[in-house]
Amino acid sequence: METTIGVGLLGLGTVGCGVVKILQSPKGRNPLVSKINLKRVAIKNLQKKRNLSLDSSIFTDDPLKVVEDPSVQVVVEVMGGLEPARSLILRAISLGKSVVTANKAVIARYGEEIAEAAKNNGVYVLIEAAVGGGIPIIEPLKQSLGGNQIRKVSGIINGTTNYILSRMAKEGVSYQNVLEEAQKLGYAEADPAADVEGLDAADKIAILSSLAFGGSVSRSDISTTGINKLQSRDIEYASRLGYSIKLLAIAENLEDSENSGNSSIPLALWVEPTLVPTHHPLAGVNDVNNAILIEGDPIGEVMFYGPGAGAGPTASAVVADILNIAGISTLTTAKNGVDPLLSSASWRDCHLVNTNRIIQKNYLRLITKDSPGVIGQIGSLFGENNVSIQSIVQFDATNSQAEIVVITHKVNKGSMKDSLNKIQQLSEVKSLEAHLGCL
């Protein structure tokens, strides 16, 4: 390793600064870190004071200058947003430069286009920082688990919502209260929609799914329910029944249960607040931590756990990707070959099944009349519609009305919807107050 590798940085926010700090203090890190040379940095405001010792001559407010600088071999995109990020990534690729990005929104939407361009140009686009902050998950999925048939990926992959849910569970307070505090503390954005409506988690599960199953699906068709309508009452009842409520993002291969004759792989992807049994490894994941559980054959189950966000952890993931490119660049031949394991090109077709075919347990909370036969009626109606019940519990009865919580066995969402329509037509049933998933 006598050569160094020139890096250009697009963006110098918290993650960008975290990357610079690692590169400026190589002691105690892998020796390859000292071979990485920061050559050019694009920032929005050239006047802004920064607490970093960087030669001002490397700054520019024109990101294209970074991408096109001949001394820059690897472009690190940590500016965020869809454009100009996407165009800059594609421009870098077209110049034969590898790209490292933390931009889950771009990769979830344009991952296929970008991977195809990278393949054609013999470069890498590495995205470890796009999912799970500092947790190594992209690299293990691509390399360490490559011998497995992956069946399912499920995870807590949004730190903001997990923080809110953890505090709601611990303190018994309302969603709105915790959200406001989280915003004050900087754990939630002023506009929290992307997090609390589950959109960020949907971006990330789309990315994990494409790596786990070898092909991408349409991002906009992922069934997504956030936590913004979740009531603390349901967290409390779940807890009494032995469950935590987590915002889970799930991707499942339904190949075995299908007989389509279609060579495209049927996948179910969804994001939903879900009851997780207390003894389940995901149940103990609290605060801003993330965890991703991978199920496959022959591995069984493995889980990756750690800080899902933050400048330091995310910078750790970005630097890991730069190191990977630096390490492998010592081998790259003139013909610009790429290691097929490290490249993230898709290797088969996948498609989303109709949401109605997602199979899972359900948690339901109903307000009913407080009459003796109501539990029997509900139970019978579910039975007639082939929905098996795991438990029915009456939690509260006041003012001549009762609150009933039902946990079903596994059933597809289509049948569940049909049954719920019928249940709600019962004269004894006043309203369906909550409908969540359940592991």
Residues annotated catalytic, as ranges: 204
Contacts with a copy of itself by CB under 8 A: the residue count is 69
Contact status: 303 vs a copy of itself (CB under 8 A): yes
Contact status: 281 vs a copy of itself (CB under 8 A): yes
CA 329 to chain CA mean position, Å: 29
DSSP run (H or E) holding 29: none
Contact string 52-91 vs a copy of itself (x = CB under 8 A): ----------------------------------------
DSSP run (H or E) holding 90: helix 85-94
Contact string 138-177 vs a copy of itself (x = CB under 8 A): -xx--xxxxxxxx---------------------------
Contact status: 101 vs a copy of itself (CB under 8 A): no
Which pair of tokens denotes residue 378?
A: 């509900």
Measured CA distances, 133 to 41, 72, 416 (Å)? 22, 25, 35
For 283-316, give the DSSP string.
GG--TTEEEEEEEEETTEEEEEEEE-SSHHHHHH
Distance CA 411, CA 63 (A): 51
Contact status: 421 vs a copy of itself (CB under 8 A): no
DSSP state of 398: E
Q: CB-wise, 124 or 175, nearer to a copy of itself?
A: 124
CB atoms within 10 A of CB 285: 23
Residue type, 301: E
Closest Cα to residue 78, out of 89, 70, 69? 89
Which part of the chain contacts a copy of itself (CB under 8 A), choosing from 91-99, 102-110, 324-332, 399-407?
324-332
User: Which stretches of 11-132 are assigned E, i.e. beta strand?
Assistant: 36-42, 59-60, 74-77, 98-101, 125-126
Secondary structure (3-state) at 4? coil
Secondary structure (3-state) at 104? helix
Q: CB-wise, 54 or 389, nearer to a copy of itself?
A: 54
Residues within window 108-137 making contact with a copy of itself, judged by CB under 8 A: 128, 134-136
Contact status: 232 vs a copy of itself (CB under 8 A): no
Q: CB-wise, 226 or 307, nearer to a copy of itself?
A: 307
Q: How far is the CB of 330 from a copy of itself (least distance, A)?
A: 5
- The residue with tokens 């596994």 is 410
Among 24, 30, 257, 356, binds a copy of itself (CB under 8 A): 30
Q: CB-wise, 170 or 417, nearer to a copy of itself?
A: 170
Which part of the chain contacts a copy of itself (CB under 8 A), choosing from 227-235, 296-304, 403-411, 428-436?
296-304
Q: Is the dihedral of CA 70, 75, 77, 78 positive or negative?
A: negative
Residues that bind a copy of itself (CB under 8 A): 1, 18, 21-22, 27-33, 128, 134-136, 139-140, 143-150, 214, 253, 255, 279, 281, 284, 296-307, 310-313, 315-317, 319-320, 322-324, 326-328, 330-333, 337-342, 347
